[in-house]
Amino acid sequence: MNFWEQQRVVVTGGKGFLGTHVVAALQARGAAALHIANLPDCNLCEVADVRRMLAAARPTLVIHLAARVGGIGANRANPAVFFYENLMMGVPLVHECWRAGVQKMVLLGTICAYPKFTPVPFQEEHLWDGYPEETNAPYGLAKKMLLVQSQAYRQQYGFNSIFLLPVNLYGPGDNFNPEHSHVIPALIKKCVEAREAGADSITVWGDGSATREFLFVRDAAEGILLAAEKYNDSAPVNLGSHFEISIKDLVTLIARLTGFHGRLIWDTTQPNGQPRRKLDVSRAEKLFGFHARTDFEAGLRETIAWYESARKKEEGRRF
């Protein structure tokens, strides 16, 4: 508690999916001086906005969560936007934080930064062993540059920043917009709507063979804060659940939990994405004592319940 009571904290993207959970966890830890940097008040792609925000908040610690994110479809449709905005939200921010005398930064990368055919489970040592999976490489590489910058600024300036690599997140408050959502919210939305419409089938991208690892959002928030408290090096650190599931099994599970009993149609003209994703999470446990606590099915149940409740509220506002 004393650690956070002594900090003036800025959270970029603090009103987003992960950001709201990180802010709640910070408040629970007693962080009194807390500033959220979000659009439209602060556009991180504009250096003038970054400088104005830092001058006003005078942070000792910055947690950089802001990002332009989306699923395979959004990444394929907007590779230039995903590259430019994620690079420009991060690289100038780190530079200006160093110039402003910020004592520490927590930088979030992405599992998409790993090479397409990384040996499973992904170890941090293999991060530079090849090119990322093509559909999200621009996003993954833009975020990966923060690791390069973190290490360079530590080497030359002694600037204390850390770089975390979370797997795909899920949980209450996720983005369910079909144009931008990731796989779990997209599947929940599809199954719930099909159930309510009485549809006899849903269509899913790929062939179901790809695997993914998912981390419940509150577990991710806990890992980020533990790293902020206890870790002070620029070697990258994975944040994951150490649980791998195929997309086929994931769809089957979500269909069961949402009460959809129709057929699953696999559209094999659409990409699978990276063949497998599962992290080695031993470094996070060793360096700052993090391990995920949320059972996957329990986390899915909570996410589905949140979505159905939010959907009913939205329908109520329309009438």
The H-or-E segment that residue 92 falls in is helix 79-100
Write out the DSSP string of 167-227: -EEESTT----TTT--HHHHHHHHHHHHHHHT-SEEEEES-S--EEEEEEHHHHHHHHHHH
Instruction: Quickly count: other Cβ atoms within 10 Å of residue 3's Cβ.
Output: 14
Q: State the catalytic residue, choosing from 114, 139, 170, 307.
A: 139
Q: How far is CA 100 from the centre of its chain?
A: 27
Spatial CA neighbour of 267 closest among 201, 205, 178 = 205
**Quick one: DSSP state of residue 122?**
B
Please identify which residue in the block is written with the tokens 């939200």: 89
Are 266 and 200 contacting, i.e. CB atoms less than 8 angstroms apart? no
Beta 61-64 vs 211-216: how paired, if at all? unpaired
Instruction: Quickly count: other Cβ atoms within 10 Å of residue 287's Cβ.
Output: 17
**Quick one: DSSP state of residue 251?**
H
Lookup: tokens for 162: 């850390």
**Quick one: DSSP state of residue 105?**
E
- Count of positions (residues) in the chain: 319
Q: How far is CA 39 from the centre of its chain?
A: 18
40 prior amide bond cis, ω within 30: yes
The H-or-E segment that residue 254 falls in is helix 247-258
Return phi, psi of residue 216, to 5°: -65, 140
SS3 81: helix
Catalytic (active site) residue 139: yes
Torsion sign across C-alpha atoms 179, 185, 188, 193? negative
**Residues belonging to the active site:** 139
